[in-house]
Structure 1
C-alpha cells in the first residue's frame, strides 16, 4: 500500500543529555535509524523515503558527537549508556512510547544495547553489518591489543586522543573517500593486499586505503555531505565512541551473556570483515537473538550495506517491519 510521502524535515530535539539532530519523513509507527562511523543521518537517505512510502515514521538521527547533535567535551560523555538514554529520550521527545530501532555499524551496537536495556521502549531491533554479541568476555582493549602481531588494529589506533585526528583532519574529504572505498564491495583491496583495518609500524590507516574512483554508491555530492560535516565538527566526537569501550564493558557487566528477546533482523555484506570476525556471533543467534525473524548476507556487498544495496535493504526492512506485531 503506498502512502503520501512528505519531504524530509530536519529539527533539533532537546533531550536530557543535550541536543539530538534528526531527519524525519513519513507518518505511522516510529522507526529510529542509528548510523555508525564515520557517517551521519545521511547514511539513511535511501531508507527514509522508502520507509515513509511503506507507512512508517522514519527518523534518522545524528548520534551524539556527530553532525548537529551535542558534542560533550569529556570522553565519558560518549559511553554506551549515555547513547542509549539519548535514544529513549528521543522516542519520548517525539511524542511516542515505543519504536522499532535499526542501526548500522556502531549504530548496530547502540541499537542492540538500547533494545537490551529498554525492551519496554524498543519493541523490535534491526542490526546491519555488525551482529549482536552480548556483553561480557575479556576487556575490549586487551582483546584488540592482541590482534595483528606487529600491526595495530584500527580500534587500538583510535584509543589515544588526538592521534587519529592528526591523520584525518588535514584532509577529511580524502580520508573519508579512502575509508569508504576500502570497505566497499566494488573497491576494497584484494585478498592479497595489506588489510586496511590494521596500521603498520610507524604508518597510518590511510596508507592502506585504495586509490582510484569512488565506490559506485558514493557520488561527489554524497562525499561532500559527509566531509562537510566532519570538516565543521572535527573528528573527536566520533572517535570518542571507541575510547569508552572499556567503560562500556564495566557499565554492562550485569548483562553478561544476555539475549535480546524482541523480534530482530540481521543484514550483512558477504565481503564485510565484520561478518568474518564475528562469525561466531552469527552462529550464536539462536541463543543470543531468540526473536530473530530473518538473517541475510548480501552477496558481493561490503560494509555500507544500506548504501551499497539500498533497494534490497529497503525491501528486507519493509517486509520485516510489515510482519511485526502491531505496536
Structure 2
C-alpha cells in the first residue's frame, strides 16, 4: 500500500445499516471521513481527496444513504440523523479503523456534527463546512420553517416536506434544475441583492422559477454537471429529499442532547456570500460555548455555498493545516 500512487481513487461498497454504502477513498494514513450535502454526492469532495491523500491521510468520501450508489431505504424516517450517524460508524469499522476525523458540508455538516456528538469515541474531531453547529433543541423545525415564508411565499425546506411535490418539479429535468440550483447559491452566479430570493417558492410556483438562467458557476464544468445529473437521473430525488422530511423526527430523537456542546477539536469554514452563514450568525457567535475546542472559524470572503468546490485551494489548505495540528 505504501508505494501506491496517491492519484488512485478506489471505489468500493461496504455493509452498513442502510444496506450498501458506496465510498471513494484515496491515500493512506489516519482516516478522514467526508460527508456531502444536498443535492450532491461523494464527487463534491473531488478536490479534497487528492489533497488529503498527498498530505498523508486516508481520505474517504461517501455517498450518503439515498444518494448515488448507496442503498435507498423506502421509508422516509430511514433518513433520520440517528441512522445516518450509524452509517458513518459502520464505515469506520468496515474500513478496519477504530476512529476517524469526520468533516461534512451542508447537510453533511449536520451529519458530521451529530456523529461527533453521539460517538466521541469514534469521531475524534469534526470539520464543518457552510452550515454551523447548532446544538439540538429549540422549537419544532416544521413550526420554525413554516413561519419563515409568510403568506406570499414558502421557504424551500417547507416546500420539500410533502412527498412527491419537489420530485415532480425536479425529475422531469434533473440536469436543468441542478444547474439552476447550483448557480442560485454560487457567489459568481447568485441573484443580485433585491432580486427574488431563490430559497423561497412563490405560492403556487416552483423553486426553479427564481433560479438564474445564465452560465454555469465557474467551479462547475459541463462534465461535473453530467456526473451529478447522471446520478440523480438514475436514482431520483426522493432519498435526498427524505433528509428534509426527517427533521421533526431528529428533533424528537435528539431531545436528550438539547443544548449539548461538541467537545472534540473542531473547525468551521463558511462563505460570506452563503445564506447558511448569515442566517445562522448567532450559531457562529455561540461557538465558545457550543464548540469549546474549536481550532478555527474561517469565513471566506465572497464565497457562496458550495465552498469546497468554489474555493478548493483555500479549503484544502485550512483542512490540511488543521489536521496537522491534530497529529500533535
Q: Which residue of 2 aligns with 1:71?
A: 72
Rounded to whole Å, the distance in 2 between the matches of 1:211 and 1:52 is: 37
Q: Which residue of 1 aligns with 2:164?
A: 162
1:217-248 Cα offsets, whole Å, 9 max, x none, are: 00000000000000000000000000010000
Q: Which residue of 2 aligns with 1:204?
A: 206
Aligned pairs for 1:86-165 (under 5 A) are 86-150=87-151, 151-165=153-167
> Aligned with 1:295: secondary structure?
strand
The answer as to whether partners of 2:187 and 2:302 remain within 8 angstroms in 1 is yes
Query: Which segments of structure 1 move beyond 4 Å, counting only runs of 4 or more?
Result: none
Q: Which residue of 2 aligns with 1:233?
A: 235
Does residue 245 of the first structure (1) align with residue 234 of the second (2)? Answer: no
Q: Which residue of 2 aligns with 1:84?
A: 85
Rounded to whole Å, the distance in 2 between the matches of 1:63 and 1:253 is: 24
Rounded to whole Å, the distance in 1 between the matches of 2:6 and 2:12 is: 18
Rounded to whole Å, the distance in 2 between the matches of 1:284 and 1:197 is: 25
Unaligned runs of 5+ in 2: none
| TM-score, normalised via structure 2 length | 0.98
Rounded to whole Å, the distance in 2 between the matches of 1:70 and 1:110 is: 17
Question: How many residues of Structure 1 are paired with residues of Structure 2 in the alignment?
Answer: 324
> Aligned with 1:24: secondary structure?
strand
1:262-298 Cα offsets, whole Å, 9 max, x none, are: 0000000100001111000000000000010001000
Rounded to whole Å, the distance in 1 between the matches of 2:116 and 2:260 is: 11
Deviation at 1:17, TM superposition (A): 2.9
Deviation at 1:5, TM superposition (A): 1.1
Q: Tell me the C-alpha RMSD between the 2 structures.
A: 0.9
The answer as to whether partners of 1:4 and 1:53 remain within 8 angstroms in 2 is no
Deviation at 1:76, TM superposition (A): 1.0
Rounded to whole Å, the distance in 1 between the matches of 2:215 and 2:56 is: 37
Unaligned runs of 5+ in 1: none
Rounded to whole Å, the distance in 1 between the matches of 2:6 and 2:74 is: 38
Q: Which residue of 2 aligns with 1:220?
A: 222
| TM-score, normalised via structure 1 length | 0.98
